[in-house]
Structure 1
Amino acid sequence: MTNQTIVGTSAKREIIHIEATIQTNKLRVAGYCRVSSDSSDQLNSFAAQVSYYTNLIEGTQEWEMAGIYADEGITGVSMDKREDFLRMLADCREGKIDRIITKSTSRFSRNTLDSLATVRELKDMGVSVYFEKESIDTAVLTGENLLTLYALFAQEESLSISRNCKKGNRMRMAQGTYVSSNPPYGYRLVNKQLEIYEPEAQVVQMIFGEYLKGKGTKEIAKMLMAQNAKNKNGTTIWSHRTILIILKNERYKGDMRLQKSFTEDMLPYRKNQNRGELPQYYVRNTHDGIVSSLQYEIVNMLMDVRADEFIKDQIVTTLSKSVYCKECGAVYRRKINRGVTSWVCRRHDENINKCNGQLVSEEKIYAAFVRMYNKLQANQADILIPMITALKKLQEQGQRGNHELQTINKKIAELSEQNHRMSGLLSSGILDSALFISKTDELKKQLKDARQAKARMLSSLKKDTCLIETEDLLETLKEYPTHITTMDEEIFTDIVDKILAQDNQTIDFVLKNGLVLTERL
């Protein structure tokens, strides 16, 4: 039997670490914050939220910053006015965001329908939303059910506040003690009472006096503009409609008609003219009048006699408020002469020396639209598709704007925080008032500049809207016939934004996406 020897080794075990060559994709996370007003406390909240989400996202290794979206100074239940919120949704649709973090359901939306529709759309795109306060994660199966509950709470809170405010206002109306926080031109609100503001009161007296002398509302408006009289907004632009509202306002004789309009008790809130749905209250002698009751009554009797001044030229057609003058920008009006219908610039019609706009035949406009539409349908592949391609390239080039917006948001947050600290130093006596005023004035200027820069940035990014509208136009054309022989009002309304005219040779059709197509008449 042969002996076998096992040979051992005393060498140490060696471990070689091989680095991973394939990097896992980080989750692109965005923060959304919103405050309810522009008060200093809310500005501090705005600054804190922007800072918090920036630190949270950048401090998490598995996450990549997709942006901080912040809306400040916005109240209410509608998302229509939240620019950064809408920009965030647009970025989600373009695949730039995987996850959104926000403080609570009430910060996201106070309207259940909007909230659920948005969350569902985001889920379909693979974007989840995490609501910190309620610990709701839409990536979890039950998250949407919980979100429905909390969104209902937020909506009910908004509705409850609205109902309570309206109830209090209506009680004061019935008692005759209600005073609107928005005083009419000629008055100022002092200690919840209307007091005459003499510089504007003189303009009101002039308006009533000139109307009694026989001048119309348009003439009075022109006279005030010639005199550089300032209106309620501080500008010198007056319209006959503004004059008409002043002449009909009973407050100028010292009375008040309350609840002329009302806001619906359901979302979305809509303001309606009160045509008998709710009671109205007429309260006499609530404040000093600017004109006498007799003067007011005579003016309103004259307005009834001259009713034709306000109702003439109100025939509504397909082209009403759609044709504008290329030279002066005024809207064209419809005229019928010896059975022939034409359109003419209002300024030219009032005074031929003010504008050179010429009469354009309605029949020729209709014929030009038919030709333009047929050409657009036949050549959409050569016109719209290259336009869409070019806009997409511009969109890609402009994506760096998101980073710049983040920088601006951070700057606004930092400046707001500095402002808060300055207030603290003043209240504690460390900083004297003169130095405080000097420092805060500079901070306010920097804040204003930052906000203006943000507004310009948002404006430059609006080319995305043009892309969407061009794509929509292309889809709209697919729904309609490839050729028409007569004017089609529905098609015109769906694809044309406005018409620009100047002479009787050519007109420009400005489409919904901003594309201008010129057609000979």
Structure 2
Amino acid sequence: MNVHRIRKEMRNGKSIFDLPLRVTFYARVSTDKDEQRNSLENQVQYYTELIQSKLNWTYVEGYIDEGISGTSTKKRDSFNRMIADAKAGRFDFIITKEISRFSRSTLDSIQYTQELLAHDVGVLFQNDNINTLDSDSEFRLVVMAGVAQDEVRKLSERLKFGFRQAIKNGHVLGNDQLWGYDKKDCVLTINEEEARVVRRIFDLYANQQMGIRRISQTLYDEGFTSRKGNAFNVLTIRHILCNPKYKGWYCANKSQTVDYRSKRKIFLDESEWVMYPDPSIPAIVSEDLWDRAHALYKRRSRQMMSHQSAAEFHNRYPYSGKIICGEHGASFHRQVLKSTKGEKEVWQCRVYRNRGRAACPAPQLRTTELDQIMARIFDQLAQDQQAIVDAVVKVIQSVPDEHDYGRDALRIEEDLSAIRAKKDRLLEMSMAQALTIEEFKRRNDSFNEQVKGLEERLELLRSEEQKGRRSAQQLRNIKTALEEELSFKNGINSALVTTILDHIVVKKGSTKEEVRLEIHLKFGGPFGVVFNRENASFRFNRS
């Protein structure tokens, strides 16, 4: 039946029960507890009998959601199916208990009731005495739905208060699967078998200065595994190192819910955390050990963040990621060895670092030795110096041509013209009263946002094009600098090594006394090198 006709009949004195309508119901409970299930059964029975008792109504099977919150409609399958069936014209009227059953969100309530009315379907919120087929229902719905939404906010506040009271009473909240502890009735006790792993992690990290990935492999080699029998996840080790509970401290306020409806959270800075010693949390490691480990973790994190990207951090040393073990194909990692003579930078096969000499016989390489080898190779290439300089300059000259700035700018300008034409048509439609003021504003604002974004892209594109142009003088300066670098007057240049070196293979059969290398440059090679450490001699051959 048409909504307009229904309202006309009701204005003439008829009640909703007098009209020939196909009627269904919607019932929902937010938990799966027994008392809630009983309530749901009672709702179903009540609405079924109510609808069937009205002579002018035709009963349509109801829609039921169980154990689902009313804050959002996204996961309410029956509710969404009901909306789809309403649009398909399968019934005329829905009965539900109250607004908070239908939806606790003002936006959802109004949106869905308006959608239903647009398809000639009304809703009766029985306890709130709101029938959307009444002409004044929308105003009343806004007021009542606002109250329901405020109830969600109050519930959120009550939960937070309950958490605070539980903590004050010595109940430990949070993760029930915290490694190193058993938790029962909100009380933590130390699980000694797991606590051994926690203490070992802090010892390896703080006392032995070991990295997190190497800790994971060391634990696995020592027979310590996760609950599933795998090597410890790197993320798990990080969480253990950062959790103050391991030193017997309470820690809260790490995150904050900024929208109780969407439950969106933001993670707070450590300065905003709430931390204090808590007698109800038994410590697994000493405060001194935890503090040293945490300070080291933060220092390493700052070092990582100080670089523009993880890739830049990885490649800040000229040989990072470029030395490969011929035995396993694994990469060599940098290590700084300390002695009474000072520090020495060396490179070791990852397999050797993780599993020892028995797993990989490849010798470690010293950075000073690699620098000497690279200097000798560059020296041998002196006859090709001008060819290298010309090749690099050619690459620099070609960079601006790799990107067609003019083509991209033209596309953006075409998009801008198209959007401005749409804005003109939108204004014409508004003047012809084909659009409401609200609809005009919404669409016009959307177009303005698109225009702003395109204009910003165009400005950035033109800026990049300008940067890409290099003058003849700039190229001459670059050429002079390259020629000076390739003369090696000031020793080996690590940036030059990074630019020209592709990779180095430590060949099988290399020993501590005699290292055999295969060096690949980005513009040629490979170069075979045999380095004898006893007399510091080199033998080269170009393959």
Structure with higher RCO (Cα < 8 A, 6+ apart): 1
Q: Which structure's CA Rg is the greater one?
A: 2
Structure 2 length-normalised TM: 0.47
